Amino acid sequence: MSGGVDSSVAAFLLKEQGCEVIGLTMQLWPKELCGTHGARSCCSLRAIEDAKHAAAKIGIPHYVVNFQKEFERDVIRYFCSEYSRGRTPNPCVVCNSKVKFGKLLERAKILGADHLATGHYARIGRGAGPGRYFIKEALDKTKDQSYFLFDLGQRQLRRLLFPLGELTKSEVREIAGSAGLARINDKPESQDICFITGGDYRDFIRKRIKGIKPGRVIDTRGRYMGMHKGIAFYTIGQREGLGIAAGKPIYVVRLDPRRNEITVGDAAEVKGKELTAKDVRWMGKSGLERPAYAQAKIRYNHGKSACRVMQLSARRVKAVFDEPQHAITPGQAFVFYGGEKILGGGWIE
């Protein structure tokens, strides 16, 4: 329970169905730091208080579990490390697989729970094989969060419930209103990265990554274009904040942390048709017997695009898109679907 409308309604619906429900809220930051987070953060003290209030209204016990060390180790360090290596991280995916559906699921089991439920907009399906579960898109495609859940394993999936998967956001708000959850019903949506308080990740990593140095910016022909402020402050496809007058729109095309160098190019040069992805997690099956045609996302807010996926090894794939894609970014998740069902996903190399 994050203190928001989605997780509160999920708890309410399960209680209405006759389940024995307890509410768990993760405390991810020290209390003195939690107090600095705004209303859009699921890490704030206000969020914990709202979760307690919702649990009391629903009539279920509520506990706060402290995962400060785990969050720092598994999410924050990964986040900073990826940027320092010239990659763009996706902390929500990692938080889901390691903290929310890792440590929190373990804690739920200790408390005697059969399942862990959340307010995610996604659905769980079961394949023809024994125990082969998979994630599929939510009914409400505008709120679908399946992309963030691709890295969950079978042991996790068989214990999870997503009560909102068949509902739209408007229906969820209506349920919250009728359930008397007015305090949380009109709260703003939580921000994408809960621990970035000022809206700019650069301020966050500047305090945590040592040795960030300026370096050369070149174009795709190797010509000097100017200086950058540090590899960690840029990402593939970035256009704003380059500080280079080129007489036309230019974008970050490549990051080279070894040489501390950034390559920029025009709109055509930032597009690509191929990628490789590692650490692939398969859903519903153990791999591809032959190349498969799929619809894939290369980032959360990127529409699905047609591609051909070829398995290179047990946990590595190559994808060739029908049309060039803007800013294929190392470090981001590549998730490929067959219809609404996730076939698999991995990390772009």
Encode pLDDT of 214-232 as tens digits: 999 999 999 999 999 999 9
Q: What is the pLDDT of residue 142?
A: 95
Q: What is the pLDDT of residue 40?
A: 47
Neighbours of 61 (CB within 10 A): 12
Q: Looking at residues 1-17, what average pLDDT do you find?
A: 96
Is 42 tagged catalytic?
no
The model's confidence at residue 192, banded by pLDDT at 50, 70 and 90, is: low
Q: Looking at residues 313-337, what average pLDDT do you find?
A: 97
User: With pLDDT > 70 as the criterion, what percentage of the chain qualifies?
Assistant: 92
In the chain the domains, ranked by start, together with CATH numbers, are 5-119+163-185 (3.40.50.620), 212-265 (2.30.30.280), 271-348 (2.40.30.10)
Q: Nearest 10 degrees: CA dihedral of 24, 47, 205, 191?
A: 100
In Å, what is the CA distance from 38 to each residue of 47, 197, 201, 291, 342?
9, 7, 15, 46, 34
Q: Looking at residues 45-73, what average pLDDT do you find?
A: 93
Q: What is the pLDDT of residue 284?
A: 78
Q: Answer yes or no: is pLDDT of 323 > 70.
A: yes
Q: Is 143 exposed, middle or buried (0-12, 13-18, 19+ CB in 10 A)?
A: middle
Q: Does an H or E element contain 176, and which?
A: helix 169-178
Q: What is the pLDDT of residue 213?
A: 95
Q: Nearest 10 degrees: CA dihedral of 160, 164, 167, 170?
A: -160
Is 95 tagged catalytic?
yes
Global pTM reads: 0.92
Question: In angstroms, rounded to a whole number, what is the distance separating the alpha carbons of residues 238 and 251?
Answer: 5
- 34, 43, 92, 194: the catalytic one is 194
Q: Are strands 316-326 and 133-137 parallel, antiparallel or unpaired?
A: unpaired
Q: What is the pLDDT of residue 200?
A: 83
- Helix (H, G, I), strand (E, B), or coil: what is residue 271? strand
Q: What is the pLDDT of residue 188?
A: 66
Q: Answer yes or no: is pLDDT of 35 > 60.
A: no
- 34, 43, 80, 95: the catalytic one is 95
Q: Does an H or E element contain 156, and which?
A: helix 154-157
Pair 247, 266: CB distance under 8 Å: no
State the greatest distance between any 2 C-alpha atoms of the chain, in Å, as a whole number: 67
Q: What is the pLDDT of residue 43?
A: 56
